[in-house]
Chains A and B, each alone.
Chain A
Amino acid sequence: MQAEDRADFEAFVVARSHALFRTALTLTGHRQQAEDLLQIALVRTVRHWRRVSADNPEAYLRTVMYRQQMNWWRQRGRRPETPLPVPPDRGQADSTAAVDLSLLVDTALRRLAPRQRAVLTLRYLEDLSVEDAAEILGCSPGTVRSQTVRALRRLRELCPELDLRQNEGIHR
């Protein structure tokens, strides 16, 4: 890698690593895995830097991250043993404290299948259209729609307080 390209790449990493790490952390739910995921995506990006830097390196890197995360999930035989920074026990909701709902939502999001979490991240956190999300994940828009529905349904199963809290708000 030539010095000029390397300087460009380093500047890109300095500018965007914070946001990219957030995405990796959202996808994996685990700091160590997020660092690994980001590092692998950066290695792949730097190998093609001259080509991707002329276009949209961040889009390329994000696509690599999402697809890599999906591949890891498949390669683990859908039986991931993921170390969690906190015990995965589900807390009891205190109906008067909004913070409890946040904790329950966070726990439920961590328990979603990686693909489901990836779809929600693309659709809600990154606010991408179904088609753009499909492009990144390398699947059809119909698959993204289906996964979104399933992810939300699973989230409601894991965290029924979401709907309870909503109903409380309506009746108030």
Chain B
Amino acid sequence: MTDHVTREVTAGLGRLGAGTPPAPDALAAGAVRGAARVRRARVAGTFVAVAVVIAVAVGVATAATPRRRSLPATPPTGGHLVVAGIGCTAFPGYSMLLDPDTGAYRKVPYCVEDVSPDGRRATVSEYVAAGREFRDGALTIATGQVVWFDDPYGRGVWSPDGRHVLMGADIDVASSGAWLADPDTGRVARISFGDLGDHQIDQVVWTPNGDLLATASCGCLPAALYGYDLGGHLVRSLPKAPRYPWPRGLYPGRVSPDGRYLVETSESTGEGFVTSILLDGAGARAVGHFGLRGYFVVGWYDATHLVVREGARSGKRPTELVVMDLGGHITSRLTRDVDSSSSSEQTLTTLFIATATDATGDKAF
């Protein structure tokens, strides 16, 4: 953004916030009174909740069995993994990308958003205009060439066949729409969602067969997930059967390789929770719900396991990854360094994983 626009925006925001505040003593007194009201309500609610829990516990105590948290006898056998380390905490950002042909990591001067299914390309973004604006494109890892998209539309996620890039679908489709980019030409086209319209859609994710799955949390649609083809035609509707509360503001939302599960997370960095949703003929059912406890979901390991990394707040090295089942139990650890020369760099903040059919597992871990 130019200095001129920066000045105008900053000044405008300043004017927007100009106003005489309420009397501070009244604010403080109101807050203390409000907190006391909340406390009283919580105490009353706790008595009710304890009574309910005791009643339920007595009723099911004989049937309850402790849940095992040990490793399974047979670890899951996932596909081959391609890893990219991201170091975008400062301007300009950079990433470490695995070249599946050589097994070497390349340092590229971009922030990687997603790695293509074959591991050979990646959607990237870079700062332009003095670090205030960004542009997105498709990078060929081996050559370093980037096809820049016509216009920036947010994080780009590759389609399962690697022919399209879904842009901006992880955030606010309702206000800004979702877009499809051609990674070969850079052309971008807005996705139409038929009669429902963009404004009712919350998020859009790819399904393994190349269709789109849309979610809505606005309450303006019947509780369901909606499947679209790339032409914007509604191809299926999966009614939601609530078992767990359906969370809001989900990120990133990914369908399992076999198309049976959609996993959504409440936050991108720790302290959130994961909801796994079974997609079948009966509709969409939330079948699992657990706290991330400082972990960060980076992708699917196989049809029933996730790869997650330990968050920066946990004090672990950024390259330490674990495999979790859909109950939140750790089943194995993946702890190879991304690159010996960069392993000491503290700026590696995120890891992306894509399943690459032609990369060998040894090259990744």
Interface residues of A (CB under 8 A from B): 1, 6, 9-10, 13-14, 17-18, 20-23, 25-26, 29, 31, 34-35, 38-40, 42-43, 45-47, 70-71, 74, 77-79, 101-102, 105-106, 108-110, 113, 115-117, 120-121, 124-125, 129, 131, 134-135, 138-143, 145-150, 152-155, 162-163, 165-166, 169
Candidates B22, B31, B155, B217; contact of A142 at CB < 8 Å: B155
With an 8 A cutoff between CB atoms, is B34 at the interface? yes
Residue of B nearest to A1 (CB): B32
Contact of B174 among A1, A31, A78, A101 (CB under 8 A): A78
Contact A143 B21 (CB under 8 A): no
Complex Cα distance, B155 from A26, in Å, reads: 27
Given A17-B24, A42-B27, A42-B30, CB of A79 within 8 Å of CB of B39: no
CB pairs A–B below 8 angstroms (22 shown): A6-B32, A10-B24, A14-B28, A25-B17, A26-B16, A26-B17, A38-B27, A39-B31, A43-B31, A46-B34, A79-B220, A115-B175, A117-B13, A125-B13, A131-B89, A135-B269, A139-B267, A140-B269, A149-B153, A150-B154, A153-B151, A163-B5
Contact string against A for B residues 298-334, beta-carbon threshold 8 Å, 1 for contact and 0 otherwise: 0000000000000000000000000000000000000
How many angstroms between the C-alpha atoms of A78 and B111 in the bound complex?
30
Chain B residues, CB < 8 A from A146:
134, 152-155, 168, 171
A9 vs B24: C-alpha distance when bound (angstroms): 11
Is chain B's interface secondary structure helix, strand, loop, or mixed overall?
mixed
Known: A124-B13, A125-B10. A143 touches B27 (CB 8 A): no
* Nearest CB in chain A to that of B13: its residue: A125
**Residue pair A42, B22 in contact (C-beta under 8 Å):** no
Cβ-neighbour of B39 out of A6, A47, A165 (below 8 A): A47
Chain B interface residues toward A at CB < 8 A? 1-2, 4-6, 8-19, 21-22, 24-25, 27-28, 30-32, 34-35, 38-39, 88-89, 111, 113, 125, 132-134, 151-155, 168, 170-172, 174-176, 199, 217-220, 248-249, 251, 267-269
- Shortest C-beta distance, A43 to chain B (Å), equals 4
Bound complex: CA A143 to CA B172 (Å): 10
The answer for the CA separation of A96 and B6 in the assembled complex, in Å, is 20
Q: In the complex, what residues of B have CB within 8 A of residue A110's CB? A: 16
- Establish whether residues B18 and A25, one from each chain, have CB atoms under 8 Å apart when the complex forms: yes
Measured between beta carbons, the chain A residues less than 8 angstroms from B174 are 78
| Bound-complex Cα distance A150 to B125 (A) | 14
